[in-house]
Structure formats: C-alpha cells, structure tokens
Chains A and B, each alone.
Chain A
Amino acid sequence: MAELDTSGGGHKKGPGVKKGKKLSTRVDLTPMVDLGFLLITFFIFTTTMSQPTALKLFLPDDKVTEEDQNKAKESGVLTILMGADNHIYYYEGQLKPDGSNFLSASFNGENSIRDVILKKKADVRSRSRDAENPYKDFVVVIKPSADCNYKNVIDILDEMAINVVKKYALVDISDGESQLVKISDASSQTSASN
C-alpha cells in the first residue's frame, strides 16, 4: 500500500517547540485491485475466441456410379484454369476447338476473376426460370495446372466462399488444356519482358 512519511524528521525537538498534528496520506488500494479483477472477469466473459483460420473442403466420393454423378448445364459452367506465376484463365461452357473462348483474368486488379464469377452468376440468374433457386445451374470447375502453387488453389477456393458459389469442383486438367495454359503462360511472360 502507498504511504507517505509525514513525520517531519530533521526538525529539532525540544521544549517550547509546538508539535504539529501528524496527518496520514495513506492510500488504500484494495478497491482498485477489486476493480482490476472485475475488469479481467468482464473481458474474459465478453471476448470471443479467435476463429480457426482454416478452409473446409469436402471431397466427393469417387466410387459413385455414373447415374449418381451430377450433370451440369453447359450454359451454367465456368471453367477456371490456373497456370504458373499467378496466371489465371477461364472459359464459359465448353472449350472451343480454336480456343477463342479461352480468356485470361487476374486474381486482383483489372479483369479480376471475382468480376468474371459475378458476371457469370448474373448471367445464370437472368436465364434461370427457377425463382427459388436461380443459381441452381451455376457450376464452377477449377482446374489447377502442375505449375500453379498451393496459394493459387487457396485463393480460388476463397473466391468461391467470397462470391457464395454453392457448386464447384476441383478437377484434373486435361492434356490439351495444360498445353494451352503453358503456351499462354509463355506468351504472357514474353509480353511482360518486352
């Protein structure tokens, strides 16, 4: 506890010297301790624990028969392909033989994949006849190439969560698509270096 010495030591005591009344400046800190504990208890009860920073992924069972497999409407499918150095590509429906619908996007900035997803969602919604579930036909197929990294996969899965995409699938890339991604990666690297 805090206490000040107010004895006035150093003065000579003697006959005829009037002694002043000693005043105690002792401060009782007990209520402060109580308040401290009260605050600690308050913060313990009101603070929420930090949420685990993990992304849930439920994989479908491969052993289903062909009848059990989900069929998707071509008009509602958006295929996203990921290449090296954060390059991202997409096409709507099926890939045309001449590759004319094979387009590039980015994770952020101009022509971002988020804008592409939102545009496709709006397109599917405008064409849907089901008022209760207008995004029923909307499916995103994610095809990571061998050159893309773990961060890209997490980023694209995060985009699915951010844009509330209910149906998406992580699918192996075909040889033709892989070649197309490699060529596009190489051409974008060349144009970047020039």
Chain B
Amino acid sequence: MQVVKDAYAGEKMDLLLKGDNVAKYPAFKNVIAAFKKNELLKFQMVTNPENAPEGSELWKMSMKGIKQED
C-alpha cells in the first residue's frame, strides 16, 4: 500500500475494496486496518447494490432529484 501511495503521490487515487460475500469480517477488518495505517481513509467498497426500495427515504430523495451527501 505504501508503494502504491508513493506511486500516486499528488494524484487523485481511488481505492476499491472488493470482497467475496461469504468472506468473514476479520479479513475485511484487516484490510481496513492496513488502509488506516497508511492514512488511506477514503475508499469505496465494490458491491452490487439493488435499487433503493420503493417508499424508503433514499427512494423519495432520488425521486425528488436530491443527491445524498458523502
């Protein structure tokens, strides 16, 4: 991670964490711990999310065209 961080120094870097559905949480936690150690605090987790369920707050927001803040 340090090597990657050095290679992308000064550039915008997108980190994606992709995990198997059945992977146990400790493995995921260890990766997060490694990110934290290298001060990589912003990353994305690759998933396959479904659409927001109808009637939920997120659905209502998307219907109104409001984007959720990060």
Return the contact of A149 from the options B21, B32, B68 (Cβ within 8 A). Answer: B21
Residue of A whose beta carbon sits closest to that of B27 = A150
Whether A147 and B56, one on each chain, are in contact in the complex, defined by CB atoms closer than 8 angstroms, is no
Interface residues on chain B, size class: 20 to 34
Return the contact of A162 from the options B24, B39, B43, B57 (Cβ within 8 A). Answer: B57
Return the contact of A58 from the options B19, B25, B61, B70 (Cβ within 8 A). Answer: B70
Judged by DSSP, the binding face of B is mixed
Whether B24 and A146, one on each chain, are in contact in the complex, defined by CB atoms closer than 8 angstroms, is yes
Whether A161 and B68, one on each chain, are in contact in the complex, defined by CB atoms closer than 8 angstroms, is yes
Q: Once the chains are docked, how many angstroms separate the CA of A52 from the CA of B32?
A: 21
Q: Say yes or no: A149-B24 contact (C-beta < 8 A), given A54-B45, A58-B70, A164-B68.
A: yes
Size of interface on A: residues with Cβ below 8 Å to B: 31
Interfacial chain B residues near A145, Cβ < 8 Å: 25
Residue of A whose beta carbon sits closest to that of B46 = A54
**Which of B23, B25, B61, B70 has the most A CB atoms < 10 Å from its CB?**
B25
Interfacial chain B residues near A123, Cβ < 8 Å: none
Whether A55 and B44, one on each chain, are in contact in the complex, defined by CB atoms closer than 8 angstroms, is yes
State the Cβ distance, B56 to closest chain A Cβ, in Å. Answer: 5
Interfacial chain A residues near B41, Cβ < 8 Å: 58-61
Residue of A whose beta carbon sits closest to that of B60 = A164
Q: Encode A150-180 as 1/0 by CB contact (under 8 A) with B.
A: 1111100110011110000010000000000
A5 located at the interface, meaning its Cβ lies under 8 Å from any Cβ of chain B in the complex: no
Return the contact of B25 from the options A153, A158, A162 (Cβ within 8 A). Answer: A153
A62 located at the interface, meaning its Cβ lies under 8 Å from any Cβ of chain B in the complex: yes
Return the contact of A150 from the options B21, B35, B42, B58 (Cβ within 8 A). Answer: B21
Q: Which residues of B contact A (CB under 8 A)?
A: 16, 19-29, 32, 35-36, 39, 41-49, 52-53, 56-59, 61, 68, 70
16 further interface pairs, Cβ-Cβ under 8 Å (given A53-B47, A158-B49, A163-B56): A53-B48, A54-B44, A55-B47, A56-B44, A57-B42, A57-B43, A59-B35, A146-B26, A148-B25, A149-B22, A150-B22, A150-B23, A163-B58, A164-B57, A164-B68, A170-B32
